[in-house]
Amino acid sequence: MKTVFFLIVLLFSAEVYPQDIKVRSVKRVTPEDNGSYLLTGVVPGSGYLLVAGGGYNGLSLLDIRRETLKPVTDEPGAGYEPAVTADGNKIIYRSDSYSDNLKYSSVTSYDVTTGEKKKLVEKGRDVLTPAVAGNKVLVKSEGVMRIEQAGPEMKSSGAGLFLVIEEMMPVLYRDGERKALMPNGDGFYIWASLSPDGTMILYNYQGRGTYICDLSGNILHDLGRINAPRWFNDRLVIGMDDKDDGHRITSSELVYYSLGDRKRVVFTSTPERSEMFPFALGNRRIAFCTDNGELFVMKVRVR
């Protein structure tokens, strides 16, 4: 009994203690077509990366072991902020088309197993990128919001909570209720995402800094300069520290922020390679791309 108690205490301690990330190895993933890609997401519980061409045009699944590509679509804009259901079986993406040089968008659901596509939102002018909570999908077009079940019902705590950006500010939807947040006041909010446990919001404010707030908009953490921030887990955020000369990217390193000890750490040092747009791939790997469109998977040790 003592041993069980001790293990429980140890596990609990591990949860609240600071965490840090150390790089163990880095491997390049070369798509079969040797193409240049942007990393735009990962499919949970699978060996797939979501990749897109320049300008987020098109969307493909890249099998990191076989380095094979499985095209989802070649539509413009489809690679921008695609959403994946918790069971990893559905990819929901917004794609764009132009008429009279005006941008029109639609939202489509793609079944990873069958390759079947289903149009969730028809072509319209003001279409949000889709948001996912569990296996539910929120879509919004020209002011009309709709939630669709895209897989088996899940009972997890965050399953009914959606985060989108509307009018440049984070907006929460839960049970049909809409709650707009402006933790830093009026302005441009980008790169917003919910923590895996659904209790915190990560975002960047006007390019000036990255923050974490609670669901009421109270700022909990000032992360400093971390661009393209993503949750690694509930205690760690990863992102990039990219630099440029006003015209081109001159360098970029990966950086993490530990919520436990409120510490920002640049954890790569690769002057020969600009590492950008990282995503957690499970709890021991990070995928990222470079400014030249190369893709990498990094094994990390998290303590």
Partner 1 sequence: MKSLNRALLFAAIILLPATIYGQRSDFSGLRIFINPGHGGNDGDDRHMIATDFWESEGNLTKGLFLRHLLEDRNATVYMSRTTNFTSDDLPLSTIATMANTANADFFISIHSNGFDGTRNQPLVLFRGYDNAPASPPAKTFAHILWAKLYEKGNCWTHTSEWVKGDWTFYPDWGTQGLGVLRTLNMPGVLSEGSFHDYIPEGWRLRNENHLHHEAWAMLRALQEFYNVPPEPSGIIAGVVRDELTSPPWYFRPGTRDQHLPINGATVTLMPSGRSVTLDDLNNGFFLFDSVPPGNYQVIAGGMADFYNDTLDVEIVSGRSTLADFLPSFDTARVPVVTEFLPVTTDSLPFNQVFTLKFNVPMDRAKAEAALVLEPAASVIREWDEKSKILTIRPETGFASKTSYLIRLTTDAASKWDVHLIEEYQVSFVTRARPKLVTEQVWPPQDAAGITLFPRVTLRFDAPLDQASATAGIRLLDSQSAPLAKKLEIFSGANGKGSYSFELTSQLQLNSVYRLEIDASVKDIAGVSVGSGAENSFTTRTKTYQTGNVVESFDNIPAFWDPEASGSTVGTDNPLTTFTSSTSVIKSAPTAGRLDYVFTGGDGGVCRVFNTAKPSIGSSTSMVFAMWVYGDLSYNELEFWFYSPGSVNQIVPAATINWAGWDLISIPFSSIGGSGDWQYHSIVVRQTGSGLKSGTMYFDDAMVISPTGIEEKEEDAYRLSVYPNPVRSEGTVSFFLQEPAEVNVSLFSSDGNLVAVLFSGLTGEGKNSIPCYPSQVVAPGVYTLRLGIRNEGETLWRYSSRQWVILR
Per CB under 8 A, residues contacting partner 1 are 36, 38, 54-57, 76-77, 79-81, 96, 98, 100-103, 105, 125-127, 165, 168, 188-191, 204, 207-208, 227-228, 240, 242-250, 271, 276, 291-293
Give least dist CB 186 to partner 1, A. 12
Give least dist CB 36 to partner 1, A. 6
Give least dist CB 187 to partner 1, A. 10
Across 262-277, b (16+ Cβ under 10 Å) vs e yields eebeebbeeeebbbbb
Give least dist CB 20 to partner 1, A. 24
Cβ proximity to partner 1: between 86 and 91 the closer is 91
Cβ proximity to partner 1: between 38 and 50 the closer is 38
What DSSP line would sit under the chain, residue for residue?
-HHHHHHHHHHHHHHHS---EEEEEEEEE--TT----EEEEE-TTSSEEEEE-GGG-SEEEEETTTTEEEEEE--TTTTSS-EE-TTS-EEEEEEEEEETTEEEEEEEEEETTT--EEEEEEEESSBPPPEEETTEEEEEETTEEEEEE-SS---SGGGGEEEEEETTEEEEEETTEEEE--TT-SS-EEEEEE-TTSSEEEEEETTTEEEEEETTS-EEEEEES-EEEEESSSSEEEEEEEEE-SSSEEEEEEEEEETTTTEEEE----TT--EEEEEE-TTSEEEEEETTS-EEEEEEEE-
Cβ proximity to partner 1: between 53 and 158 the closer is 53
Give least dist CB 263 to partner 1, A. 22
Cβ proximity to partner 1: between 192 and 281 the closer is 192
Cβ proximity to partner 1: between 86 and 169 the closer is 169
Cβ proximity to partner 1: between 134 and 183 the closer is 183
Give least dist CB 204 to partner 1, A. 7
Give least dist CB 45 to partner 1, A. 27
Cross-sheet strand order for the sheet of 209-214: 189-194, 200-205, 209-214, 219-224
Cβ proximity to partner 1: between 58 and 134 the closer is 58
